Structure 1
Amino acid sequence: MQSVKWLHPRQLLKIFAASSIALFLLGFSNSFSIAEYRDREVETHLPVTPQFVPLFYSLEKYAQNTVSGGPGKDGIPAIDTPRFVSAGRAESFLGPEDIVFGVVLNDEVKAYPQKILVWHEIVNDRLGHENVSVTYCPLTGTAIGFKRGETTFGVSGRLVNNNLIMYDRATDSRWPQILGTAVSGSFKGKSLEEFRVIWTAWGRWKQRYPETEVLSENTGYIRNYQRDPYGSYHPLGGYYAEGSPPLFPVLHRDRRFDPKAVVLGARTRDGVVAFKKNSLRAKKIMEGTLSGKQYIAFYDPVLDTGYIYKNPERKLFVYENGQYTNADGKWEAGDLPLEKVNAFDAMWFAWAAFYPETDAYE
């Protein structure tokens, strides 16, 4: 029998449920000068920037409110030597409704199955000329990409607001995934460079990108990649179901939406905005305002995802037959002639816990 330190959080959930889960589940003070920052960046080869993500709480409060997720540091092993197969070979272990996290970067196209990342949470990979980490937190339903330079990321075993806290293996700084900003360690107060990861279904991704490579089940670890220890997305059940509570405490609760409702969120220098994903599916176009500036979300019917753009001139668009049109032409949802901001899906409870003052639209 495996020792507890090797149990994945999804395995722990089943144990908790069988043995009274309730009993178990009962800024910027270390900043660098510019010279120090550059020296540190060269020393660790980690591409970071001064913190740009809005923070509602101090870095110290985030650090002080971390909890153990069960397994210790690296108890959930990141994939450091990923292997990939063709779309055709991936058909042997992926069904059309299986969730994948899709990335298009540096002229490469890859898909990372949720059923694999649920057991590993981080894949340290390379896309084109760049080293990257594709990350997934099952407890908050968030998939985010980060550029990692010459270091790699691992799973710390700690959580804040139920969200994965990563650590970089160069300095052991701690990075909550949703923040993308270090809350402790040498890089405290610095933010990672991000890239878009698309949450979609395998059948949709394969149709749009038939040339895609797919993360292989041959990870070097013995795991049952056909079983999700937390529940199911098709049909929706277990931990993922609407109405089910978060597993661990959060810093803030917000009742505007169901805790497990999915929102498409973006963090900008103007503030934080979230669009309820089911509403975006229905309306196709949704608008919001941050600091007097308009942000606009478009639904992509091919990939069942959304994109958020700045729209300072308040241009008008109309949805027609899967495309968006105005007087200047026609575009796909991901290629509008506007400035795109990085956005990602998240469970509402987690988004609101990190960003209590978020603007939210449905």
Structure 2
Amino acid sequence: MRDSPTTNGCSRRSVLGSATAVGLTALAGCLGTPGILDGVTDDENAVAEGPPTVDRSFPQEYTIEELNDANLSDGPGQDGIPSIDDPQFAPSDEPPANLEGGDPVFGVELNGEAKAYPQYTLVWHEIVNDVVGGESVAVTYCPLTGTAQGFYRGESELGVSGRLINSNLVMFDRGTETWWPQILALGIRGPHEGEYLEEFQVVWTTWDRWREQYPETAVLTEDTGHIRNYGDDPYGEYNPRRGYYENDNTLFAPLATDDRFPMKAVVIGARNADGAMAVPKDTLRERTVVEGTMSETPYVTVYDEALDTGYVYRNPDGKSVEADEGTVVVDGDSYESNALPLEREIGFDAMWFAWYGYYPSTVVHE
């Protein structure tokens, strides 16, 4: 069922009424101000190029015009939620004092280098412009949709536009000021309209789990250059889960709705030229291996118990995939869950309402 992209009468400030005045002016969560980014800047000091784009084919449920018409704003404008552009890190044995073992972190491993980005820090900033494994990247997080995604940024930087679509963060690049809805990874306004960002895998896990698997990891500190109440999430809490993350209310109406799962049930979503798919994370934890098809092509999603995450693979040849005592057996040979001899897809955690809102034709694998 498609819905109009209007607010549902529940303002962000009413949900976050307990936040401090400082917090309200700096709230993370895809806020914005009308009139910002209506066109492309001609600032002669701007970076001439935006981030690198790739030739890819994702399902497009809405026209670019419809997506632009659906953008909303309700708070600070462009860069009102400041990205972290000079991130500082600590070794795993000297983590930030506020970081507890069960707290969510967003883990990245590129070219042999591992880094962890605490959720309680990114909730105030949403974007970290960083270099990992020699690659210029942006690690991004939208609290309202529970999505952590990574993008290659080249010589540009990504920032928070102050807009949201389908409750989801709309980024902009500081080179061309193109708008990029996070989940879609698609340029919808500006010189890169109709183009896609290149992604890399970001793992939603916990600090204990990540540093156990990557003991040499670095971890983002609270030395961000900004004064925020780090450790005090304005939307609620993940450890244990409460507030916005626990209830079934959204601040803005989704682009489309489906009642098969609770609105904020976590699914692992993936999309490519075959279509869009989602695997309920609770189902994956229980079954370890979940198979299904998109456009008649077999897919398999496997659970990684160590990191409490899942990996999505395209399996066009229909190879046999089974779980076996902590490993995954493919046609008789054992592999780690993140290294199957199959074509791996980018998959990431998302709240069901947000994933379905963008991809109402999504196929659910259970």
TM-score range, shorter chain: 0.7 to 0.9
SS at match of 1:245: coil
Amino acid at match of 1:114: Q
Structure 2 Cα separation of the partners of residues 97 and 74 of structure 1: 30
Cα 1:141–1:45, aligned 2, differ >3 Å: closer, same or farther?
Answer: closer
Shift of 1:202: 0.4
* Corresponding position: 1:46 with 2:46: no
Give, in angstroms, the shift of residue 233 of structure 1: 1.2
Tell me the equivalent position of 1:295: 299
Q: Are 1:246 and 2:250 matched, yes or no? A: yes
Deviations 1:44-89 (A, max 9, x none): 1521124522210001101111000422111110000001100011
Letter in 2 for 1:56: E
What are the equivalent positions in structure 2 for 1:139-178 lying under 5 Å apart?
139-178=144-183
Whole-Å Cα distance in 1 between the matches of residues 181 and 292 of structure 2?
A: 26
Q: Secondary structure, in 3 states, of the residue corresponding to 1:255?
A: coil
Is 1:311 matched up with 2:315?
yes
What is the CA–CA distance in structure 1 between the aligned matches of 2:58 and 2:18, rounded to whole Å? Answer: 35
SS in 2 for 1:280: helix
Structure 2 Cα separation of the partners of residues 14 and 45 of structure 1:
34
Question: Would you say 1:188 and 2:193 are equivalent positions?
Answer: yes
Instruction: After superposition, give the CA deviation of every residue in 1:184-205 in whole Å (9 maximum; x if it has no partner).
Output: 1111000000000000010000
Aligned partner of 1:15 in structure 2 is: 17
Question: C-alpha deviations, 1:223-278, integer Å up to 9, x for none?
Answer: 1111001011122211011x422111221111111100000000111000000000
Q: Is the 8 A contact 2:51 2:157 kept in 1?
A: no
Bigger helix fraction: 1
Contact 1:78/1:124 (8 A) holds in 2: yes
- Tell me: CA distance 1:320–1:291, structure 2 relative to 1, closer, same or farther (3 Å): same
Matching residue within 272, 276, 282 for 1:272: 276
Residue by residue over 1:165-213, the C-alpha shift from the partner in whole angstroms, topping out at 9 and shown as x without a partner, is 0000011110000000011111100000000000001000010000000
Whether the 8 Å contact between 1:50 and 1:189 is mirrored in structure 2 is no
**How far off is 1:327 after superposition?**
4.3
2:112 corresponds to which letter in structure 1?
D
Aligned match of 2:236 = 231
Bigger mean CA deviation after superposition, 348-357 or 90-99: 90-99
Q: Determine helix, strand or coil for the equivalent of 1:334.
A: coil
Distance 1:65 1:45, change over 3 A: closer
> C-alpha separation between the residues in 1 aligned to 2:18 and 2:132?
38
CA offsets 1:322-360 (integer angstroms, 9 cap, x no match): 111244421111011111000000000000000001001
Report the more deviating stretch, 46-55 or 173-182: 46-55
Q: Does the aligned pair in 2 maintain the 1:10–1:229 contact within 8 Å?
A: no
* CA distance in structure 1 between the partners assigned to 2:165 and 2:96 by the alignment: 36
Which segments of 5 or more consecutive residues in structure 1 lack a partner in the other structure? 1-8, 19-41
> Counterpart of 2:338 in 1: which secondary structure?
helix
Does the 8 Å contact 1:264/1:345 carry over to 2? Answer: yes
| Among 339, 351, 354, the residue aligned to 1:350 | 354
Q: Scaled by the length of structure 2, what TM-score is found?
A: 0.87
Q: What is the correspondence of 1:119-134 to structure 2 with a 5 Å cutoff?
A: 119-134=124-139
Of 317, 322, 335, 1:331 maps to 335
Correspondence for 1:137 among 120, 142, 145: 142
Aligned CA distance change for structure 1 residues 93 and 198 (closer, same or farther; 3 Å): same
Deviates more, 1:52-61 or 1:201-210: 52-61
Q: Secondary structure at the match of 2:66?
A: helix
**What is the CA deviation profile of residues 262-311 of structure 1, one whole-angstrom value per residue up to 9, with x for unaligned ones?**
00000111000000000000000001111110010000000000000011
3-state SS of the aligned residue for 2:261? coil
CA distance in 1, matches of 2:219, 2:18: 33
Letter in 2 for 1:347: M
The match for 1:320 among 324, 334, 337 is 324
- How far the C-alpha of 1:129 sits from its partner, in A, is 2.4
- Which residue is equivalent to 2:98? 93
Q: What code does the residue aligned with 2:200 have?
A: F
Deviations 1:84-141 (CA, angstroms, capped at 9, x unpaired): 1000110633111000000001221000000000000000001122210000000000
The answer to whether the Cα contact below 8 Å between 2:330 and 2:340 also exists between their aligned partners in 1 is no
What's the counterpart of residue 222 of structure 2?
217
Instruction: Please list every run of 5 or more consecutive structure 2 residues that lacks an aligned counterpart in the other structure.
Output: 1-10, 21-46
Q: 1:77 is matched with which residue: 57, 79, 82?
A: 82
Instruction: Name the CA distance, whole Å, in 2 between partners of 1:114 and 1:134.
Output: 11
TM-score (norm 1): 0.88
Report the equivalent of 1:24: none
Q: CA deviation at 1:221?
A: 0.6
Of all paired residues, the percent bearing the same amino acid is: 50
TM-fit CA distance, 1:11: 6.8
Q: Which has the higher contact order (CA 8 A, sep 6+)?
A: 2
Cα contact 1:318–1:324 (8 A) shared by 2:
yes
